[in-house]
Structures are given as C-alpha cells and as structure tokens.
Structure 1
Amino acid sequence: MRLFTAVTLGRDIETRVTQELVRLRELAPRARWVRVEGLHLTLLFLGEVDRARLAELRAALLPLGTRHAPFTLSVGGGGSFGQPAHPRVLWADVRGDIAALKALQADTAAALLPLGFKSDYEDYAPHLTLARGKEHGDADLVQCVEALAGSTLGEGRVDRLILFESQGAHYVPRVEVPLTRAP
C-alpha cells in the first residue's frame, strides 16, 4: 500500500478551488491539474507499506486525536516552485491556524518515526498543490500565479487526521483520527 498522512480542507474550499481551476486551466492547458476530490495537505509521506502494518500505524496515530483540537485554515493567493519563468508546480497559499497545522504535522512525524518513517520536511511549509508543469516547467503557469494574486479560495475546518492509501489518482482513507481536544 502506498500511504501518506494528510488533512482535508472541506467542501467550501473544494467548491471554490473547482471554480478557480476552470479559469486557470484556460491559462495553462498543458499543465497536469489536481483532482479536486483529492484535495489535501500532506503531513507525512510513508511510501510503500505492507498491509500487515496497518494496525501498527493505527495504534501510533490514534493517540494524536486527543492531543489536538480542530482548527480552521483558509486558502488563497499562491505561487510556484521551480524556475520563475518556467514553474514546475503551481500552488495556493494556506493561511489561518498554521501553528496548529504545524503542530499536528510535527506530532504525526514524531509518532511514526519509531516505526521507521522519517519526515521529508525539514521545515514544514503548507501549500495546496494545484498543478504540475512538464519536466522542464510550464511558462503558462506564470500567468496562473498572477491570476491567483489576491484570490480567496475559502475556509475549512480541519477536524481529523487521515491515513490515506494512494491508488493511482484515487485516495482511500484507511485510518481516520478525529481531533477531539477541547480548544
């Protein structure tokens, strides 16, 4: 199983990102655009994991729920990764209670480290990936960055940590951990 931990952002953000992607796709028709129903913020990528380890992962993740309260994030604006003239990735900025998101990410990484899963993030910088350019980037994504400036793509309540299995373009929840600590 190809696994990762993440949080989702809710229906409001999904709806508004869907609307925004219609406009952005016209500006960069060759880019590979995300599927809106798969919108998430990855906390930790685990990679290929034997199905037999699912119970062990569940046991490590479940205690995190009582240590974290639900929190609110918003999405808007954006930028790119790669060469400024030929970006490889287009992303939207994540705002709101970033401290709570970073704390959940750090706690998730710490809980899974004893099981052999190391975080890819030295300093977790949350962003919502919207599109990827070709191998050498896509100059059309520059227009998308400009189009995102000043945009507001909604607000969502994060109330659970999810261990997803990636099945190609589909993400299947394998473990859901409600965030239950009182704010």
Structure 2
Amino acid sequence: MELVRCFVSVELDEKVRNRISQWIEELKILAPRLKWVSGSGLHITLKFCGEIDLSKVIKLENALQDAFARTTVRPFSLEIGGVGAFPGLREPRVLWLGVGGEEDQLSRIVEIVEGAAEIVGLEREHRPFHPHVTIARIKSPSDVPVDLIRTISEHELGQLSWNVNAVMLMRSDLRPSGAVYSPIAKYNLKQPEVSR
C-alpha cells in the first residue's frame, strides 16, 4: 500500500515568489538556524491531507475535478499582507506572511475543497481557515534572535499581488533537506458564462 503525503494549494506567481525568496535570503543571515522555506516551496495551503493511500489520492483528484467542473469560480486576486507567527511572536513555531485581497473567493474555494475531501472520507478541518504563506519553521524559540523579530515587524515587502487562476493538488515528499513538492493535478478556475 503506497502512502502519499499531499495537500491542496494555491500557488504564488513567479514575481511574488521571487520577491519573497529574496527577502528570505536576507532574513537567513539574521537567523541561520531556522528551517527557511525555499522559493519553490512557497504556497497557500487550502487543505493538508496528510499521508493517505494512493487509491484515496486518485479518488480525491477525481472528486476535486468534479467539484470544480460543477462550480463556477472565477479567477481572483490576492495580496501579501503582514508577518505573523503560530502560535504567536512570543514563542513562534511557524513564521508566515498573511494573505489579503479577495478572501471571500478563497474561502469559497476552501469550502469546495473540503466538500470534495469529505466525499472521499477525509475529515473536515475544524479550525477556522487562516490564509498564509509559511516562510520558516522553528524548532526552538531560542533560535529566533530579537533582531529577526524587529526586522520582520518593520518589514516592507512592497505591494505584492497576483491573480489566482488555478488550484493545485500537490504531493509532498519529505527529504533531509526539506519537503519537495510536485503537482498531482491542476484545476483551472473559469469565468462565468455570460448569457445573451
């Protein structure tokens, strides 16, 4: 039985990903002991599915295909907001960038994804959806220098926005160097048809 670690996500466009990657390179100098996310790993997770049987992944792929074919979700725009941490900046475990813009469209997509996942037997996420882009994971709060918290709280990434045209089902393979992501399926968003 092959288990596949997977998640459903929205990708960033290349310009936004490159700008955040440059900023992460600057932050790495201040906090080299953190596990910083590589540029190719930057995304917004809509649902983390965990390790599931390959047959269930195929069912999920099909359920998502059906769900997006039945529902019209137009492309929409998102933007990068401020910096935060889970559970908080006092004892951070995860550093993230907030996401703003057309969040109502993003929430609608999360509902579609949750519905499709439920059909194939995956448990619905009970925590409220908090859109974010993870930039670093932290083993010990002592690895986080005060300078880093000051720098990220005063950061100025500039206006970073992009258009979301698709939702991705992604595979995540854990390696010693970090997770490696590869696409399983892509679901394009479509404009509603105009009736004449």
Q: TM-score, normalised by structure 2?
A: 0.84
Query: Residue deviations 1:90-112, cap 9 Å, x none?
Result: 11111111111111011110121
One-letter amino acid matched to 1:132: R
Unaligned stretches of 5+ in structure 2? none
Which structure has more relative contact order (CA 8 Å, sep 6+)? It is 1
Kindly, what percent of the aligned residue pairs are identical? 31
Q: For 1:33-89, what per-residue CA distance to the aligned partner results, in whole angstroms no more than 9, with x for missing partners?
A: 001111111111111122223332122101333421111111132112235333222
1:35 pairs with 2:33: no
CA 1:85–1:59 in structure 2 vs 1: closer, same or farther (change >3 Å)? closer
Matched, 1:65 2:75: no
Matches of 1:126 and 1:137, distance apart in 2 = 27
Query: What are the within-5 Å matches in structure 2 for residues 72-151 of structure 1?
Result: 72-136=77-141, 138-140=143-145, 141-148=148-155, 150-151=156-157
Q: CA RMSD in A?
A: 2.0
Q: Aligned-pair distance for 1:6?
A: 0.7
TM-score, normalising length: structure 1: 0.89
1:182 deviates by 2.6
1:170 alignment partner AA: V
Runs of 4+ in 1 over 4 A off after TM superposition: none
CA drift of 1:137 comes to: 5.7
Distance in 2 (CA, whole Å) between partners of 1:6 and 1:144 is: 28
State how many pairs are aligned.
182
Amino acid at match of 2:68: G
Q: Following TM superposition, by how much is the alpha carbon of 1:143 offset from its aligned partner in structure 2, in angstroms?
A: 2.8
Shift of 1:138: 3.7
